[in-house]
């Protein structure tokens, strides 16, 4: 059955106190991006990316913002691999402003881009430029976030976002020992931007795992906030997550009540929660989930302030998207591995799903350092 993805948005935070943390982390990552991009060009053929010999066509790559570390990495990796495959690349970042992204895509079309790869800010806001792309016969790959309500979308490439949520839920079940728990455990819930369609998968995947424990009384949401609308965080903003967590602590945990866990759909919301706990919570530290393995959060994992983060290696996704671009530009069809799950309101979009993995303090070195994603110095 196709899962309607019409509700939610991405992985981005731009809150003010957290902004300095996010900006620092992005800068730390950015210092190595140029080197990594050059290295990616050399390694692309070794890693299974298309060999150089692309058509020389101009490919437009639209990213939402530079404010988040992961989008800098996505953009740099894809640009490097597309260029290694013989394409020219117009890479643009839109500062999380929808109208800026609309204008950038329109400019890509008018400047002769022959294919578009778009990570949307708001999955329902690109109707006009995508109509132009369809009229011009320009294929579109929706990247990471599914573009909604447009029949111009040719393919969707992302990680298995439902599985991301499942892994977070499964981690909580095991870490809290819920199967054999003698006493109820207290939990609070945080997810991301309602405009990001990925949220419905992150939150839905996690809740499909832990809902039965809530129903059985083994998990208790003391705040009573369980509906998506109540737990969503606009723009994945760390400051907004921190403010909401401050309020929850004041109303439910200031009397010494123990908070056992916080489900956070990604690392920017987790960072806000962790900041709130540091300033106003005095009880036993809870189990906190996350996603993206941002530098600040990896550091928190290593210092015991975050239990896990679901890792989505953007190099893997970039490599797959380059393969998809190359297949289409050579007149063929892109490889997919899901033809039933992602309905954008106009029909099911052929999709390639990459596999996410859980990272903890126990395996971070293997997954993040030994793989070359970070250096040890970046996360210490």
Could you list the pLDDT tens digit for every one of the 380 residues in the chain?
444 443 333 333 333 333 333 444 444 454 444 444 444 444 443 444 444 446 689 999 999 999 877 889 899 999 999 999 999 999 999 999 999 999 999 999 999 999 999 999 998 899 999 999 999 999 999 999 999 999 999 999 999 999 999 999 999 999 999 999 999 999 999 999 998 889 999 999 999 999 999 999 999 999 999 999 999 999 899 999 999 999 999 999 999 999 999 999 999 999 999 999 999 999 999 999 999 999 999 999 999 999 999 999 989 999 999 999 999 999 999 999 999 999 999 999 999 999 999 999 999 999 999 999 999 999 98
CB atoms near residue 366 (< 10 Å): 10
Domain count, the chain: 2
The boundaries of the domain holding residue 99 are 3-160+313-354
115, 150: one domain:
yes
Distance CA 256, CA 378 (A): 36
> So what's the pLDDT on residue 54?
64
Q: What CATH number is associated with residue 242?
A: 3.40.50.2300
Burial level of 217, CB count in 10 A (0-12/13-18/19+)? Answer: exposed
138, 185: one domain:
no
> So what's the pLDDT on residue 85?
93
Angle formed at CA 121 by CA 342 and CA 95, multiple of 5 degrees: 155
Signed CA dihedral, 370, 372, 373, 374: sign only: positive
Q: Is residue 378 part of a domain?
A: no
Q: How would you label 22-52 residue by residue, b for 16+ Cβ within 10 Å and e otherwise?
A: bbebbebbeebbeebbeebbebbeeeebbee
> So what's the pLDDT on residue 94?
96
Phi, psi of 157 (to 5 degrees): -125, 125
Distance CA 310, CA 160 (A): 11
Read off the pTM: 0.80
Q: Is residue 17 part of a domain?
A: yes
Q: In what order do the strands lie in the sheet with 351-354?
A: 88-93, 58-63, 115-118, 140-143, 155-159, 351-354
Q: Is residue 317 part of a domain?
A: yes
How many CA atoms lie within 13 Å of 276's alpha carbon, on the beta-carbon side? 25
167, 269: one domain:
yes
> So what's the pLDDT on residue 43?
44
Phi, psi of 321 (to 5 degrees): -65, -40
Say if residues 154 and 328 touch (Cβ distance below 8 Å): yes
Q: Which of 141, 80, 51, 94 is nearest to 334 (CA)?
A: 141
């Amino acid at each position: 059955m196709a899962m309607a993805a019409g509700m939610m948005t991405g992985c981005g935070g731009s809150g003010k106190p957290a902004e300095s943390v996010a900006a620092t982390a992005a800068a730390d990552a950015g210092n190595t991006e140029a080197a990594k991009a050059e290295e990616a060009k050399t390694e692309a053929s070794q890693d299974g990316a298309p060999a150089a010999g692309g058509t020389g066509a101009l490919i437009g790559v639209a990213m939402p913002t530079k404010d988040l570390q992961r989008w800098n990495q996505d953009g740099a990796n894809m640009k490097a691999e597309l260029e290694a495959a013989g394409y020219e690349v117009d890479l643009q970042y839109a500062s999380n402003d929808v109208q800026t992204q609309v204008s950038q895509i329109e400019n890509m079309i008018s400047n002769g881009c022959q294919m578009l790869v778009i990570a949307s800010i708001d999955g329902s806001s690109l109707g006009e430029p995508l109509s132009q792309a369809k009229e011009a016969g320009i294929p579109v790959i929706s990247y990471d976030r599914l573009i909604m309500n447009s029949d111009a979308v040719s393919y969707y490439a992302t990680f298995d976002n439902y599985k991301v949520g499942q892994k977070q839920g499964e981690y909580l079940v095991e870490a809290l020992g819920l199967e054999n728990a003698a006493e109820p455990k207290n939990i609070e819930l945080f997810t991301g931007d309602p405009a990001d369609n990925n949220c419905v998968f992150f939150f839905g995947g996690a809740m499909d795992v832990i809902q039965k424990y809530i129903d059985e009384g083994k998990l208790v949401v003391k705040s009573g906030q369980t509906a998506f609308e109540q737990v969503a965080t606009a723009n994945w903003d760390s400051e907004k997550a921190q403010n909401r967590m401050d309020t929850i602590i004041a109303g439910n945990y200031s009397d010494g009540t123990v908070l056992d866990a916080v489900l956070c759909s990604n690392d920017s919301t987790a960072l806000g929660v962790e900041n709130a706990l540091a300033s106003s919570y005095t009880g036993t530290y809870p189990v906190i989930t996350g996603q993206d393995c941002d530098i600040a959060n990896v550091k928190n994992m290593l210092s015991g302030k975050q239990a896990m983060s679901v890792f989505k290696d953007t190099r893997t996704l970039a490599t797959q998207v380059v393969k998809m671009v190359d297949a289409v530009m050579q007149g063929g069809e892109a490889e997919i591995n899901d033809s039933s799950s992602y309905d954008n309101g106009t029909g099911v979009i052929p999709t390639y799903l990459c596999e996410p993995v859980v990272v903890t303090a126990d395996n971070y070195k293997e997954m993040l350092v030994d793989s070359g994603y970070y250096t040890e110095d970046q996360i210490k």
